[in-house]
Chains A and B, each alone.
Chain A
Amino acid sequence: MADTICRTLRDGGLEGEHAPALTIKDSKASPFGFDVFNYVLTQLSNYILAGKSQSRGLVVVAYSRSPSFYVDLLKRRGIDIASSHDWIHILDCYTDPLGWKNWLIDKDISQEASSLSSFCQDVRNLDKLYSLIIEQGKGLIGQGKDRFSIAIDSVSEMVRHASISSVAGILSNLRSHDQVSSIFWLLHSDLHEIKFTSVLEYLSSMVASVEPFNQAAFGQRVDLENLSMLEQNFRKGKFHVRFKRRNGRVRVMCEEILVELAGIKFTPVLSEDEIINQRLLPKRYGFVQQVQFNLQLSEEERNERAKVVLPFEHQGNGKPIQIYDGRRSLGENKEEALVSTGKLQPDEDSGKGQIIYFRDSDDEMPDSDEDPDDDLDI
Chain B
Amino acid sequence: MENQNLNLLDRALGLDGPSEPWPLSGRVVLIEDCVETSGSFVLHQLVKRSLSPTSSNVIIFVAFANPFSHYDRILRKLGCNLVTQRDNKRFIFFDMLMLRCPDVDEGKSSEGGLVLLYEKILKTICGLPGDKKDYVTIMIDDISLVEVAANGGSDYVLDFLHYCHALTSEFDCSLITLNHEDIYSSMERPTLILQMEYLADILIKAEPLSTGLATDVHGQLTVLNKGTSHRLGRSGNKIHNFHYKLYVVLWRKKLVISIDKGYSSEKRSFRRTYHVNGRLGFWNLNTLCVTHLLNG
Is B224 part of the binding interface, using a Cβ–Cβ cutoff of 8 Å? yes
Q: Is B194 touching A222 in the complex (CB atoms < 8 A)?
A: no
A221 to B118, CA, bound (A): 35
- The stretch that binds A, out of B17-25, B96-104, B158-166, is B158-166
* CB neighbours of B233 from chain A (8 A): 261
* CB neighbours of B166 from chain A (8 A): 66, 94-96
The chain B residue with its CB closest to the CB of A66 is: B169
* CB neighbours of A95 from chain B (8 A): 166, 170
* CB neighbours of A72 from chain B (8 A): 229
A95 to B169, CA, bound (A): 9
Interface residues of B in 184-208 (CB under 8 A from A): 189, 191, 194-195, 197-198, 205, 207-208
* CB neighbours of B234 from chain A (8 A): 76, 261-263
- The stretch that binds A, out of B67-75, B236-244, B260-268, is B236-244
Contact of A109 among B126, B163, B220, B296 (CB under 8 A): B126
Q: Is A28 touching B198 in the complex (CB atoms < 8 A)?
A: yes
* CB neighbours of B227 from chain A (8 A): 259, 261
Q: Is B236 touching A259 in the complex (CB atoms < 8 A)?
A: yes
Q: Is B237 touching A259 in the complex (CB atoms < 8 A)?
A: yes
Is A31 part of the binding interface, using a Cβ–Cβ cutoff of 8 Å? yes
Knowing A160-B158, A222-B241 touch, does A76 contact B229 (C-beta < 8 A)? yes
Knowing A221-B207, A223-B210, A259-B227 touch, does A109 contact B241 (C-beta < 8 A)? no
Q: Is A222 touching B229 in the complex (CB atoms < 8 A)?
A: no
The chain A residue with its CB closest to the CB of B199 is: A64
CB distance from B147 to the nearest CB of A (A): 15
A65 to B211, CA, bound (A): 40
Q: Is A234 touching B237 in the complex (CB atoms < 8 A)?
A: yes
Interface residues of A in 80-108 (CB under 8 A from B): 94-98, 100, 103-104, 106
Q: Which of B122, B170, B198, B296 has the most CB of A within 10 A?
A: B198
A104 to B234, CA, bound (A): 36
A73 to B118, CA, bound (A): 28
* CB neighbours of A223 from chain B (8 A): 209-211
* CB neighbours of A224 from chain B (8 A): 296
A256 to B293, CA, bound (A): 36
Interface residues of B in 141-194 (CB under 8 A from A): 155, 158-159, 162-163, 166, 169-170, 189, 191, 194
* CB neighbours of B195 from chain A (8 A): 191
* CB neighbours of A259 from chain B (8 A): 227, 236-237
How many residues of chain B are within 8 Å of chain A by beta carbon?
41
* CB neighbours of A97 from chain B (8 A): 162
Is B216 part of the binding interface, using a Cβ–Cβ cutoff of 8 Å? no
Contact of A190 among B159, B163, B194, B222 (CB under 8 A): B194
Q: Is A190 touching B189 in the complex (CB atoms < 8 A)?
A: yes
A12 to B95, CA, bound (A): 55
Q: Is A109 touching B155 in the complex (CB atoms < 8 A)?
A: no
CB distance from A71 to the nearest CB of B (A): 11
Q: Is B163 touching A100 in the complex (CB atoms < 8 A)?
A: yes
CB distance from A230 to the nearest CB of B (A): 6
CB-CB contacts of A46-78 with B at 8 A, as 1s and 0s?
Answer: 000000000000000000011011001100100
* CB neighbours of B198 from chain A (8 A): 28, 31, 188, 191
CB-CB contacts of A165-206 with B at 8 A, as 1s and 0s?
Answer: 000000000000000000000001011110000000000000
Q: Is B239 touching A191 in the complex (CB atoms < 8 A)?
A: no
Interface residue ranges, B against A (CB under 8 Å): 115, 118-119, 122-123, 126, 155, 158-159, 162-163, 166, 169-170, 189, 191, 194-195, 197-198, 205, 207-211, 220, 222, 224, 226-227, 229, 233-239, 241, 296
**Nearest 3 A/B pairs, CB to CB:** A223-B210, A221-B210, A66-B169
**16 residue pairs from A and B, CB less than 8 Å apart:** A28-B198, A65-B169, A66-B166, A68-B169, A72-B229, A96-B166, A104-B122, A109-B122, A160-B155, A190-B189, A190-B194, A191-B191, A220-B210, A221-B209, A234-B239, A235-B237
Interface residue ranges, A against B (CB under 8 Å): 28, 31, 65-66, 68-69, 72-73, 76, 94-98, 100, 103-104, 106, 109, 111, 157, 160, 188, 190-193, 220-224, 227, 230-231, 234-235, 259-263
